Amino acid sequence: MSKPKVMISPGAGMDNPGLFERELSDIADVFFGTFKSGEEIPPEVKGAEAMILSLELVNERLLTNVPRLKIIARYGVGYDNVDVEACTRRGIYVTHTPGILSHAVAELTIGLMLCLSRRLIHADRYARTEWALPKENRGARFPMGIDLYGKTLGIIGLGRIGYEVAVRARAFGMKIIYYDVERKVDAEKTLGAQYVDLKTLLENSDFISIHVPLTPQTRRLIGEKELRLMRPTAYLINTSRGPVVDEEALCRALKEGWIAGAGLDVFVKEPLPLDSPLVKMENVVLAPHIGTYTIETRRAMAMMCIENVRAALMGKIPPNLVPEQREIFGVK
């Protein structure tokens, strides 16, 4: 009898060479493949019983064309690219990798804040090009930074990642305020964080960091109105999903000085087009969606996907079902 076929998308496979084959070959045939919306689904993809996916769009069209599919294992925690309802209707499990990646995203978030507060990108460029030049050949003096110490960080979405950001920001001596659809009383106690409404958060923060999932409710949560409420000295950090922020409004805010700057790991369109106005802006620090991109975290994510796929192929309920499926499949 032939083994079930497991498709690994390049985003997951390239990070962990050989790992999926080693860990799954006793029960499955692993192959590397992908599909694109609007394009013919390759024949080998149609035979998959499990998929370990990066950000490919999983919709009705895909599910209809892959009839033996048992599980979509998202290589990441956000699953806005997966039509969970359509999967549930077909009895297909959807899993993700919550928790194990939170510290990596939190570290990047703090990194972006430090890049902005201490102008590290400019500093690096200055040290390589101008610093040692005779005074008369140097440009203006290197601009001074600001302290994180004593500043207020407003966290939008105090979930797993938001919490880890808050822990690290506290260590820097920052005051934490947060907005979330759910009040987090335990976190308020451990972090000394204060719950506020979104308007209060926008008006009172020196740094704002977004950590909500992309849902119909959070799409463009931060638009022109919200950006105009921010302080002109404040910085916006987004490591959640690009469409949570109205990118056009953000560009205007950055250009016209409604806010001081932004640190962005995620964008409405990825890869970020080279002709995006963000590319030329000096008050912006950009990262190419690398929130979880560390050796340790990508491996832990892969191992979690493997555990979920093994369970599904062996007729068990995978341990990391997305919240919408937990009750349906009888998991607490």
Residue 127 in contact with residue 189, Cβ under 8 Å?
no
Please report how close the Cβ of residue 181 comes to ligand NAD at its closest, in angstroms: 4
What does the per-residue mask of binding to ligand NAD show for 192-231, with x meaning CB under 6 A? -------------------xxxxx-xx-------------
Q: Which is nearer to ligand NAD, 81 or 117 (CB)?
A: 81
Please report how close the Cβ of residue 162 comes to ligand NAD at its closest, in angstroms: 6
What does the per-residue mask of binding to ligand NAD show for 242-281, with x meaning CB under 6 A? -----------------------xx---------------
Give the pair of three-digit tokens for residue 161. Answer: 């990642």
CA torsion through residues 81, 84, 86, 87, sign: positive
Q: Which is nearer to ligand NAD, 107 or 180 (CB)?
A: 180
Residue 185 within binding range of ligand NAD, rule CB under 6 A: no
Residue 192 in contact with residue 198, Cβ under 8 Å?
no
Cα dist. 152→165, 174, 198, 307 in Å? 13, 6, 14, 40
Active-site residue, 241 included = yes
Rounded Cα distance, 105 and 291, in Å? 5
In one-letter notation, the amino acid at residue 47 is G
Q: Which is nearer to ligand NAD, 87 or 222 (CB)?
A: 222
Active-site residue, 96 included = no
What does the per-residue mask of binding to ligand NAD show for 158-177, with x meaning CB under 6 A? xxxxx---------------
What does the per-residue mask of binding to ligand NAD show for 276-315, with x meaning CB under 6 A? -------------x-xx-----------------------
The residue to which tokens 């796929």 are assigned? 309
Indicate the burial class of 168 (C-beta count within 10 angstroms; 0-12, 13-18, 19 or more).
middle
Q: What are the start-end ranges of the E strands in the chain?
A: 5-8, 29-32, 50-53, 71-74, 93-95, 152-156, 175-179, 194-195, 207-210, 235-238, 261-264, 284-286
Binding site for ligand NAD (CB under 6 A): 76-78, 98, 101-102, 105, 157-162, 180-182, 211-215, 217-218, 239-241, 265-266, 289, 291-292
Catalytic residues: 241, 270, 289
